[in-house]
Structure 1
Amino acid sequence: MATAEFLPAEKLRRVGKLVDELRDDFEHINLLPHERNAYMEQLKVFGRNPDNADPIFTPQGIEILTHHSFHSTSPTTSKAALQCLANALLSKPPTRQMFVDLGYSERAVGRLRKPKKDDEFLMSRILFLTSYGTSQSFEKLIDKHRLADHINDNIERHAKNKRPTSKDDEALSETLKLLFNVTHFCPTRTKPFSKSISPIMKILARRPVVTPPLLAPINFLINSLINMDFEDKSLINSNLKPCVEALISILDVALRTYGDTELDATVTPLLTLLKRLAKVSPPPVIAAMKASLLPDPPKKGFISKDPALLHVRLMDYLTNPRSTSLYDGISSLFFELSGGDVSKLTGEFGLGFSSGFLMTRNMQIPAKNSSVRSSVASVSDESAKSARSVDLTGMRKSLPSLPNDRSKMVAKRRTQEQAGEKLMVLFDRLKMTDITNYDDPRMQAAAKSMVVELDSEDEGI
């Protein structure tokens, strides 16, 4: 009879009996190896669904599982116990502190050294789960038990594996998740993990881009680099350029593949990593990033709108924002690629984009753009009535001579655009506060397909 077919009371009784049998064996060693294996396998199956399996999740149940996990001489019993323990820590968070209190974290770290089959996956997952809501001291595990060394060695081993299996990728994913959490919760201990930077970049550069592109382990490879210390550039130079090229290819495919509601969780970490790499990359890599990500200077008033081009799609997410996180990620990346120079940013993208970005970060608009800055500050400023206009893409073009009634329409349209630009800035500044919740009208308009192009006869207005 399958475990799923047991009535709740019967399942609870059987789980309790199995725990009692294994507890007696724990104390007196009165089971034969095949009996112990069979009991532990049954308990593992029952524990997959935590309902009516309460005896597993008690301090006594966790102690029994932990004992058989780390002390059993049978690989079969140890593996089943570890799987049951990992499932318990996942489904019942209070059991994580129970495991930490038993003092077996150091043993789990020790089994990450040249791990046997399945040990990397199971030990990494158990340690990863104890990073949430427990008193686990990862600083101690790093300083005294060589956690960083073992993780570095395992990632290096994966980087040398040119034909990884699905099992290999599962183990790598768990190691990377543990790496991310440790560097996130222990920011003062990121340097010991720096040896993993180059192997991670090597794996990213070597993996083909698939659709969808941000499945495991690619997403975990990206996340694991975000918290890393890139101060020692000798650790990144050898694999930096091919890694950046791979990341840009992943970004290109991701923007084609994922819907607007998925982009926050999938693409934002990728943009964050590209921005961090832009800070430490040498000029040739920066030039390659700019060539792929930034729009070309407009030629004779023409701006490409071909959606097949990556930079066109990135600009579309800026001018028609669907997500605050995505907007901030792209704009911050562009600012970094401009060398963190406000003048270069405004020169390449115009004030329509740049003013909102700068003002949300309390940065001054360059003095050479003071006339435009005045128009943002006050739509009634007479300097806004100059003979040249700045549209939202940054293009500057002279206004044609028009009849008097046409001139009035032009003036009215210009005033509306200036007011709109001022509102863009105000909404961007409001996004950075916690004063109130609001719906950004730009995002509402984009969601309802209300964004329209100007008629050809209106160009330049």
Structure 2
Amino acid sequence: MERQSPVYLAPASGEAAIRELERLLHDLEDNLDTLKLSLKQQQDALGEVKAFGRNPQTARPIFTKQAISTLCRYGFDRPESTEAAREALRCLANAFLLHEPSRQTFVDLGYGPKAAERLKLDDYEDEFLISRILFFLTYNTTLDFEALMSQNDLAQSINQIFSHHAEYYSGLDIIQSPKFTQQQLAMSETLKLLFNITYHYPDSLPKFDPAVESLVTIVLRHPLPEPPLQPPTSYLLNALLNLDIRAVGKGTQSGHGPKASAASESPDLEPLVNRLIHILDAAVCNHPEETLDQAAASLFTLLRRLYELATPRTKAVMRTQILPNAQDRDQPLGKGGSLSSRLLRLSCSPKLPTLRSNISALLFEMSEKDPGKFVQNIGYGYASGFLMSQNIEVPPSALEANASSNGENVAHVNPVTGQRWAAEERDASSTLPMTEEEKEREAERLFVLFERLKATGVVNVQNPVERRFEEID
């Protein structure tokens, strides 16, 4: 008599769904000993378990130790069915997302090392699933990742994975590749895993030096999403934050990234700097302003670190692209459409406390951390708030004729607004008379600026707008 195949129905709901899920798990556990189910039937049953497991209301039976053990055996101990194993891994990943204690159950069952070994396989689907599982295990479990790195070559596997991703981006028509979406998802999960490992295990950082050049290559060649500061770009920047950028070009695996100078042994960071500034320009143009406070934090931290490590030539490139130039001074700084103008406007936004600080800190560092040069570069109006918040005094020379960090002569520049005096006079002669309301707004603005100036002690002058407010009062 021919054996009848079990019938697996579409997911039910409520208590009926829970009973159906329990039946599926029982059949799968029983099959581990009896081998009654064909490979296709195993895959179908695990697919049904996955469907139930996406709903927190019906997924409870999966969270038991018995069910986690069953899924682990299908996922890691039965190599004869790759697709069934992947369905089991998907079930585990969903369980770890919905039910944190399930992660420790997995660790207690001893499957952490098996997961690390599985990451050696060169396959995007396996990479996605295993990296996601290991990523969840970095949170609130006792899994020893140092042991995985020393005994199961986890760091080497991750380095090799990024080397393969870097090679992928050397091809043409990347976006048209049928593997593009799958590659993106897999790489994103491994980037998240790398960030968490290097964050929680800082002593492991040197083990990931070979990945730095591959990651830089990917940053240089990866097509930017719109807007740009979203996965995988955001994950790439986060991953680089924890790593030693100086490892670029030191004979690492991929051989694709910027090279170190043989004479100086300093890596050529200029291509990476140019790419990050391009990303910054696209971000401030295309991201909603309220999202930039968090989205751009990693990018600014990375730019500040690169400026610290850069050669004098690369530092000059950064200053040229980010600090105000001669054309910007045709009007008060921050009024134009250049990158520097947009950054200055954002540096005053009350809705962006983190971004304000990051922008001002970067501009201050590009001014050689010299408050006088800082004022000359961006104008006292923009510099004063940051300097006061850092308890940095402004020397009297800040308001004297000198040269900016871009090499421009600022002798004929208004030190408060950053605009050339000649341009101010031109604007004044061509401007229609202000209305009373406009005069009041301008008086308020000047009052604040002069009060800030007096507070520094740089000059001792009476606020020329003060009497106006006294008269109004």
**TM-score normalised by length of structure 2:** 0.76
Change (3 A) 1:422 1:276: farther
Contact 2:213 2:249 in 1 (8 A): no
Deviation digits for residues 18-48 of structure 1, max 9, x if unmatched? 1112222234544333332222121112112
State the 1:233 CA deviation.
5.7
Residues 1:188 and 2:200 are matched in the alignment: no
| Amino acid paired to 1:216 | P
Change (3 A) 1:89 1:107: same
| Amino acid paired to 1:293 | I
1:204-353 to structure 2, matched below 5 A, reads 204-232=219-247, 234-235=249-250, 237-238=258-259, 240-297=269-326, 302-303=331-332, 307-353=336-382
1:18-417 to structure 2, matched below 5 A, reads 18-72=24-78, 73-161=80-168, 162=171, 163=174, 165-232=180-247, 234-235=249-250, 237-238=258-259, 240-297=269-326, 302-303=331-332, 307-366=336-395, 368=397, 390-391=415-416, 393=418, 416-417=448-449
Change (3 A) 1:97 1:281: same
State the 1:125 CA deviation.
0.5
Change (3 A) 1:138 1:346: farther
The whole-number CA distance in structure 2 between the counterparts of 1:174 and 1:328 is 30
Q: Which has the higher mean CA deviation after the structures are superposed, 323-332 or 31-40?
A: 31-40
Contact 2:69 2:109 in 1 (8 A): yes
State the 1:88 CA deviation.
0.8
| Amino acid paired to 1:112 | L
* 5+ residue gaps, structure 2: 1-7, 251-256, 260-267, 401-412, 426-439, 457-464, 466-473
Q: Which has the higher mean CA deviation after the structures are superposed, 241-250 or 230-239?
A: 230-239
**SS, match of residue 245 in structure 2:** coil
State the 1:196 CA deviation.
1.4
Change (3 A) 1:182 1:341: farther
**SS, match of residue 115 in structure 1:** coil
* 5+ residue gaps, structure 1: 372-387, 401-408, 425-453, 455-461
Partner of 1:16: 22
1:422-461 to structure 2, matched below 5 A, reads none
State the 1:358 CA deviation.
3.1
Contact 1:272 1:329 in 2 (8 A): yes
| Amino acid paired to 2:138 | S
| Amino acid paired to 1:221 | L
The whole-number CA distance in structure 2 between the counterparts of 1:412 and 1:203 is 49
Contact 1:349 1:394 in 2 (8 A): no
Change (3 A) 1:66 1:396: farther
Contact 1:55 1:61 in 2 (8 A): yes
The whole-number CA distance in structure 1 between the counterparts of 2:445 and 2:165 is 60
Q: Which has the larger share of helix?
A: 1
The whole-number CA distance in structure 1 between the counterparts of 2:111 and 2:124 is 20
Tell me which of 414, 418, 428 is aligned to 2:450. Answer: 418
State the 1:342 CA deviation.
3.6
The whole-number CA distance in structure 2 between the counterparts of 1:351 and 1:39 is 69
State the 1:86 CA deviation.
0.8
Change (3 A) 1:365 1:98: farther
Partner of 1:432: none
**SS, match of residue 319 in structure 1:** coil
CA RMSD of aligned residues (A): 3.2
State the 1:14 CA deviation.
0.5
Q: Which has the higher mean CA deviation after the structures are superposed, 228-237 or 238-247?
A: 228-237
Q: Which has the higher mean CA deviation after the structures are superposed, 59-68 or 241-250?
A: 241-250
Contact 2:49 2:91 in 1 (8 A): yes
**SS, match of residue 308 in structure 1:** coil
Partner of 1:435: none
Contact 2:188 2:235 in 1 (8 A): yes
| Amino acid paired to 1:98 | T
**SS, match of residue 94 in structure 2:** helix
Contact 1:159 1:200 in 2 (8 A): yes
Q: What percent identity do the matched residue pairs reach?
A: 33
Partner of 1:379: none
State the 1:227 CA deviation.
1.1
Contact 1:194 1:228 in 2 (8 A): yes
Change (3 A) 1:65 1:423: farther
Deviation digits for residues 253-309 of structure 1, max 9, x if unmatched? 111111122112322221111111111111222222111111015788744656431
